[in-house]
């Protein structure tokens, strides 16, 4: 297996006057996203003076910094805080490879499929000429990488879903989707962490809370995690809910 290195950086450019964007490519895939998370982890573990935070996305990571603190630690001959950060980031990131994040977490998410928990399961099955049981089997056999969090607090965009159960977004989005709903949109699957409008096809629901504002970080999942869905019964779902109270 080839170890794609961070030397495949497409470019680095400023984002306003206090952030830098590292772009690793345009295609969304596990190798590129692995480099994104390897870079973020590297900078977070050995931050430079003035570092604030890293925000990973599908193919890039944005690094925010305190421009005044960076200025106070600027090396001789460096023309600006941006150039100081750029030089530090380039030196650190160019020594990485996507394979260095082999210790990422694996998180199992229990899901009750179909019925009131997954009102679109039958529709997804019909679209793909499958039975509901086949859709559930395919969905639970997959291992999904959390490419990024976004759209709503703690919402995971998961890659790695089988094309056999892909389904388009609904033509008319629902005005309110319950927290914990597990959905499909195109070739992606995800979990709604809070109640919000949305157009994903709902196939099940988890009793776990993904958005946890009282904790730090306030999300069950993190970018770079691996997710596995585990099927549970309605009785098991109720047991999870009762245990949470």
The domains found in the chain, sorted by start residue, are 6-101 (3.30.1360.40), 106-244 (2.40.100.10)
Q: Does the pTM of the predicted model rise above 0.85? A: no
pLDDT (tens digit, 0 to 9) for every residue of the chain, 245 residues total? 334 444 455 688 999 999 999 988 777 777 787 788 888 888 888 899 999 998 888 888 899 999 999 999 988 888 899 999 999 988 888 766 555 544 568 999 999 999 999 999 999 999 999 999 999 999 999 999 888 887 777 889 888 899 999 999 999 999 999 999 999 999 999 999 999 999 999 999 999 999 988 887 788 998 888 999 999 999 999 998 655 54
Pairing between strand 188-191 and 181-185? antiparallel
User: Which is nearest to 162 in space by CA: 192, 187, 179?
Assistant: 187
Question: Tokens representing 90?
Answer: 């380039």
Closest CA to 155 of 185, 175, 119, 180: 180
Taking residue 107's Cβ as centre, other Cβ atoms within 10 Å add up to: 17
Token pair listed for 240: 């999870």
């Amino acid at each position: 297996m080839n170890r794609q290195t961070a030397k495949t950086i497409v470019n680095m450019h400023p984002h306003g006057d206090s952030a830098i964007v590292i772009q690793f490519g345009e295609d969304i895939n596990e190798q590129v996203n692995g480099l994104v998370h390897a870079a973020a982890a590297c900078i977070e573990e050995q931050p430079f003076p003035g570092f604030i935070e890293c925000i990973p996305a599908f193919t890039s990571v944005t690094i925010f910094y305190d421009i005044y603190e960076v200025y106070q630690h600027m090396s001789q001959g460096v023309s600006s805080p941006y150039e100081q950060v750029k030089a530090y980031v380039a030196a650190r990131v160019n020594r990485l490879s996507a394979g260095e994040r082999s210790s990422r977490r694996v998180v199992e998410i229990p899901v009750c499929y179909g019925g009131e928990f997954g009102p679109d399961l039958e529709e997804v099955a019909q679209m793909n000429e499958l039975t509901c049981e086949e859709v559930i089997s395919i969905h639970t056999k997959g291992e999904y990488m959390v490419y990024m969090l976004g759209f709503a607090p703690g919402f995971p965009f998961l890659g790695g879903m089988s094309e056999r159960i892909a389904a388009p977004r609904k033509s008319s989005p629902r005005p309110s989707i319950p927290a914990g709903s597990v959905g499909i949109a195109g070739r992606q699957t995800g979990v709604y962490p809070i109640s919000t409008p949305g157009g994903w096809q709902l196939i099940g629901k988890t009793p776990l809370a993904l958005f946890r504002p009282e904790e730090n970080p306030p999300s069950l999942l993190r970018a770079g995690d691996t997710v596995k869905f585990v099927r549970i019964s309605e009785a098991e779902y109720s047991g999870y809910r009762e245990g949470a109270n």
